Amino acid sequence: MNWVATDVTEGVFGDSWNQYITAAVGDVYILYVDNWYMTGFAFDLTFQYQPNCGTPGFPPCASISCTLPVEFLGLNGERSGSAVALEWSTGSESNSSHFIVERSKDGTNFQPIGRVEAQGSSNTFTAYDFVDRSPSAGVNYYRLKITDLDGSSLPSNTVAVNFRSGELPIQLYPNPANDVLMVSSSSIAGHALQWRILDASGRMVSGGNAAALDDSGQLAIPVRDLEAGSYFFELKDVDGGSRGNARFVKQ
C-alpha cells in the first residue's frame, strides 16, 4: 500500500491518511515516513484495527509513539600523511549524546578508538572530525556508533582507508647511531611491535619485540653490539603488518 497524504481538508493536525489496510494475523508492515523535515520532534501514529476503536464499548486502538533521530549526513575518511582524517556531519539532532569512533581490520570486528561529544539538540548543520594517528598497515575500516542520551545507539556507514605495506613513514635518529637508535612514527603509538635489523647482505643481525613508549610513538633500539656499517631497519606489528622501514648507519 502506498497512500499519499493528500487529504487537505483537516489542516496539518488532521489524520490526513484515512485509507484502511486489510491485515491478516501474522502480517508485518513497515511504515516509511518520507519528506518529514521536523527532525527531532515527536509525533504519534495511531492504528485503528477495528472500527470505532478507542470509544466506549470498543477495544482500544494500537498506537506507536515516534521520535525522529539524528539526521546523519554520512561519514568520510581519507589519508592525511601517516594518519587518517575522519569527517562527518548531521543536518539536525535530538537528544544526541556522543559518537564512538570504531576501527576494524576486517570490516566485521570493530574496536572503539575514540569519542566525540555530540551537539545534543540542533536544527542546523553540524560538522565533526576525528584523526586516527595510529592506523594499521593495509585496509582500515571505520564507522561510528551514534549514541543518544538514553544510551541507545545506531551504527553509521562504514568507510575504508588503505595504507599499503611500507607506506607508513618512520624516522630513525641519531643517524649515524652509536649505542641507541631511536625510532619515531605516529603510526606505532600504543602498539605491540616486532622489529629486526638486516645487514647489507640481507642477513638478520638483531631483532625483538617491543611496545611503543606510552603514546609517544617512539622506540629505543639497542645497537651498541652492531659492527660499523650500513643497516636496514624493519618494523612490523604482531600480526605481521608492516609499520615501515628505513636505513641507518652504525658508527
The C-alpha cell that represents 190 in the structure block: 600504543
**Span 34-44, average pLDDT:** 53
The C-alpha cell that represents 176 in the structure block: 649515524
Query: Is the pLDDT at 24 greater than 80, yes or no?
Result: no
Task: Give one DSSP letter per residue of 2-52, joined into a string.
Answer: -------SS-TTS----------TT--------S---TT-EEEEEE-SSTT
Query: Is the pLDDT at 189 greater than 80, yes or no?
Result: no
Domain boundaries, the chain: 1-68, 71-163, 171-250
- Under the banding of pLDDT at 50, 70 and 90, the label for residue 120 is confident
Query: Is the pLDDT at 1 greater than 50, yes or no?
Result: no
- Under the banding of pLDDT at 50, 70 and 90, the label for residue 194 is confident
Region of 130 on the Ramachandran plot (φ > 0 left; ψ -120 to 50 alpha; else beta): beta
Coil, strand, or helix at residue 170?
Answer: coil
Q: What is the mean pLDDT of the chain?
A: 77
Residue type, 52: N
Query: Is the pLDDT at 174 greater than 50, yes or no?
Result: yes
- What is the C-alpha separation between 92 and 101, in angstroms, rounded? 19
Q: pLDDT for 46-65, tens place per residue?
A: 555 556 666 677 665 555 54
The confidence score (pLDDT) of residue 137 equals 73
Query: Is the pLDDT at 35 greater than 70, yes or no?
Result: no
Query: Is the pLDDT at 38 greater than 70, yes or no?
Result: no
The confidence score (pLDDT) of residue 173 equals 92
Query: Is the pLDDT at 246 greater than 90, yes or no?
Result: no
Query: Is the pLDDT at 199 greater than 80, yes or no?
Result: yes
- What is the C-alpha separation between 188 and 202, in angstroms, rounded? 24
Lowest-confidence segment of 18-22, 81-85, 90-94, 139-143 by average pLDDT: 18-22
The confidence score (pLDDT) of residue 73 equals 87
Cα angle 102-105-107, degrees, rounded to a multiple of 5: 70
Coil, strand, or helix at residue 118?
Answer: coil
Q: Yes or no: is domain 171-250 CATH 2.60.40.1220? A: yes
Cα angle 243-249-251, degrees, rounded to a multiple of 5: 140
- CATH for 71-163 is 2.60.40.10
